[in-house]
Amino acid sequence: MNKILISFILTLSTISITQADNHAKITEQQAGSSYSQNTEDTFKNEIGNCEDPGVLMLRATVKNDISRSSPEKASEAEALMKEGMKLCNENRVFEAKLKLENAKTTARAGLVDGEDPSVTKIVAENNETPKEAKPWWKFW
């Protein structure tokens, strides 16, 4: 019984030491660790007092489109987005939505692919060849 208890404690301590050693490496590799050391300051700078869900959804859409847009249009759309968020912080929600809509159209105008992201394409692959093109010895 004592041997089992000692081996169990030894195993747990080894695992905890290993995890503690990896913690420093994991925190260095976290997404956004170089972006901000203080999340509260980042949140206040990016969003502030804006609590309107429509504005926040538009902001998320603009951020998504900016990541796929050309650099010129992306910087223009980001400036419009920041103006829109500033308006929302001043409780001018309607004007903020208009600014964010402009930012969205600006970001989508500079899409790298040249495709409209609001249109989804469904491509059906059909690997089947016509029956008359199949040789007589192939049954499948």
- Residue 118 banded pLDDT, cuts 50, 70, 90: low
Look up the domain containing 83 and give its range: 46-109
Query: Does a structural domain hold residue 13?
Result: no
Query: Does a structural domain hold residue 25?
Result: no
The count of structural domains within the chain is: 1
Q: What is the mean pLDDT of residues 75-81?
A: 93
**Residue 21 confidence (pLDDT) above 80:** no
Query: Does a structural domain hold residue 14?
Result: no
DSSP-H helix ranges across the chain: 2-28, 39-46, 53-68, 71-89, 93-109
Query: Does a structural domain hold residue 4?
Result: no
* Residue with the larger pLDDT of the pair 33 and 100: 100
* Residue with the larger pLDDT of the pair 109 and 27: 109
**Residue 100 confidence (pLDDT) above 70:** yes
- Residue 5 banded pLDDT, cuts 50, 70, 90: confident
Query: Does a structural domain hold residue 58?
Result: yes
Q: How far apart are CA 102 and CA 76, in angstroms?
A: 10
- How is 110-131 classified by DSSP, letter by letter? TBSS---TTSPP------PPPG
The pLDDT tens digits for 36-57 are 567 777 777 778 888 889 999 9
The dihedral sign for the CA sequence 15, 20, 22, 27: positive
Quote the percentage of the chain above a pLDDT of 70.
Answer: 65
Q: What is the mean pLDDT of residues 105-133?
A: 65
Query: Does a structural domain hold residue 82?
Result: yes
Q: What is the pLDDT of residue 120?
A: 55
**Residue 16 confidence (pLDDT) above 60:** yes
